[in-house]
Structure 1
Amino acid sequence: MEKINISSISYCKIILHAFKYPHCQIKGVLLGKNNSEGFIEVLDVIPALHSALVVPPIEILFIHLDVYCRERHLEIVGLYYANNVFMNNSFDEQWMKIASDKLQNPIILQLENSKLSLNAVSPCLRAYCQESSQKWKEINYFVENSDETVSLASLAVQNKLHKNLADFENHLDEPLIFDFFNSDLNEKILYSNN
């Protein structure tokens, strides 16, 4: 499992989640397809949390996502996170454990805060796959139309689309207001380039 392709929407939403909560550790779920040859497509992300990890909300989120994925012929292929300290690129051990316990052959995307910028020229992620129950290995990944996607993410932040992003934690606070699937945001990201 060493071929990972990340869609433009997925990359942009991870960046927007980080910009919305620059002072927080963010966490989210990767949705996509995992074919038999080990090629993983990350087609969308669901922003999950922006505060301390609490297991019950994550359990509730996974229940929602199981139904959502079944209806759309997707699967949960991994998790993403960003640390809350600028130069901290350490693993989030709790999040890695949830990935190991909940998912089969999960991938993890880590946002490198030190590379996060409106003037970024390349994607600012690190990708990992699980080698054993306790060991993770860094692997290569590809972002769909990489240069254009990095520019699109920057434009989305400049257009303040991060203010429209809702994570599952927001949804739990006010379920009638916040759509953690961010359906409208997906369209706004795609059309922010026009």
Structure 2
Amino acid sequence: MTPRSTPATQSDFVALSREDLPVDPTAMARYLVGKVLVHDLPEGRVSGRIVEMEAYPLGDSTSHAFRGRRADNGSMFLAPGHAYVKLTYGVSYMLNISAEAEGVGAGVLIRALEPLEGIEIMRARRPRSTPRDLARGPGRLTLALGIGPPHDGVDLCAGRGLWLASLAAEVNGTLAPTRVGITTRIGLTRETHRLLRFYAAGSPFVSGPRHLLSA
């Protein structure tokens, strides 16, 4: 999908309900490719189409929930559709989403967005970035959209604040469904062979080496 020539408006989106979300990390990661992440900030709305997701299912040794529930990962054990915001490598916050039944720890990671609304707000937060790179990567997108520790545990299905949506054009059938590619995860040292990274095929906003997108 090529960059939009005009910004999205509120009528372009249909809020996702919890019932819309698959209760399984792998299925949810695939489902969310092509959906929209929206953040209503005091200075205005920012939003982006999700073009890259990673799944961290049950039994995955790279998952933050692998060793059980702790004080710092409790949001992963909430009902599907809650935000789990984690500082990684002491540098960047990353936005994950709880993806199993309540009480079961597993999640998905949003890796990249195609900016739709509030691009000037994003540029103010990431002034040295090109439009393509504003939200191309999990740490970049949280910075661009103003997401951090206060959003840990937020219900992304509430339709306000920080929330998930579908493009109305996909819902009503005037836009073709997003074509989803599958490949291995990146940025890990274990379980790197697993095909648990999902992306919008052909999108220039997907992160990582381009040659890995052929899987």
Same fold (TM over 0.5): no
Higher helix share: 1
Q: Please, what TM-score do these two structures have when normalized by structure 2?
A: 0.31
TM-score, reference length from structure 1: 0.33
